[in-house]
Structure 1
């Protein structure tokens, strides 16, 4: 049995989170976003992660890491929801759930998702939302099996400001309380 866990991220986790995020994005957005539109500077990303982990803007902004032994194999970001039709007092956003592609299917995602839900409940949120890339069937299937469902909201993000790199997303939601 492996030594696996989930905990709140520390600022020392910044380099591991940055490396995992940028590597995973290359796979996650392949064929959806041009490769040159994705960030590649792990050091710069680690600096941004270190700053946000050291000084979160809101006490309810959280980053959780999934660990195998002492190695970061996944992370999740939670915060109050910012969509105009959400109430940031009761609605939370799970803005990213990323598991190392080589570590999928080992339970890390389920542990991370449950820990994120437990954290949101402890922060007194009642509902959570997540924006998923429209074509990410794997993530949607994973979340649907965990009780999430599409709520009908959708959006298109202009990633480069020119209108040439658009990312279509759908929103999923789940109740956190009975």
Structure 2
């Protein structure tokens, strides 16, 4: 069996996290985001900016309830997930958390890394007393929506439009993580 798992991110993971992010966006968002916007957020300058942001997220999160996790296989970062208390005004940040991002390197997809990241996220959030989990997904991202639906999530009816040089609709998904 392969040496796989999930652990808290460390500063030295930041470059790998940024690379996974850029690879995942290039592979998954070409049909969703305008070409110029995608090029801007995945180019060399953006890669360095993401590396710095992920290093800060790993070492100096805004609160103890903000976490960054990485999935690893044989010591290599294969994906990552970040979560925090929900900021949407219709949710209580004491009981509702948000998956801010969950990405797996496209070359490592369909190997359970995303499921392990999501399960570890839920475990941590339950320990922190959260009972509901939400995330925003591009409406056109059928693959990610399908992943969340297969894990028991559903759209909750909330939508927003991002202006990324063209309107890009997003839907909010949610799930109950309370232990019964």
- The reply to whether TM is greater than 0.5 is yes
The answer to whether the Cα contact below 8 Å between 2:32 and 2:141 also exists between their aligned partners in 1 is: no
When the two structures are aligned, how many residues end up with a matched partner?
Answer: 174
- What corresponds to 2:69 in structure 1? 64
Q: Which residue does 1:111 correspond to in 2?
A: 116
| Contact map agreement 1:26 1:35 (CA 8 A) in 2 | no
1:18 alignment counterpart: 18
Asked if 2 retains the 8 angstrom alpha-carbon contact of 1:90 and 1:127, the reply is: yes
Query: Which stretch has the larger CA shift, 35-44 or 104-113?
Result: 35-44
Deviation by residue 1:124-151 (Cα, 9 ceiling, x = unmatched): 1110001011011111111111111111
Q: Which runs of 5+ in 1 are unaligned?
A: none
Judge conservation of contact 1:14–1:46 (CA < 8 Å) in 2. Answer: yes
Among 140, 145, 169, the residue aligned to 1:140: 145
What TM-score do you get using the length of structure 2 for normalisation?
0.92
**Residue of structure 1 in register with 2:57 after alignment:** 52
Cα drift, residue 45 of structure 1: 1.6
Partner of residue 130 from structure 2, selected from 122, 125, 130: 125
Instruction: Please identify runs of 4+ aligned residues in structure 1 that moved more than 3 A.
Output: none
Aligned-CA RMSD value: 1.1
The answer as to whether partners of 1:14 and 1:47 remain within 8 angstroms in 2 is: yes
Deviates more, 1:40-49 or 1:107-116: 40-49
The worse-fitting range, judged by mean Cα deviation, of 27-36 and 65-74 is 27-36
Q: How far apart are the structure 2 equivalents of 1:122 and 1:165? A: 40
Structure 2 residue ranges without an equivalent (≥5): none
3-state SS, counterpart of residue 168 of structure 1: strand
Query: More helix by proportion, 1 or 2?
Result: 2
**1:174 corresponds to:** 175
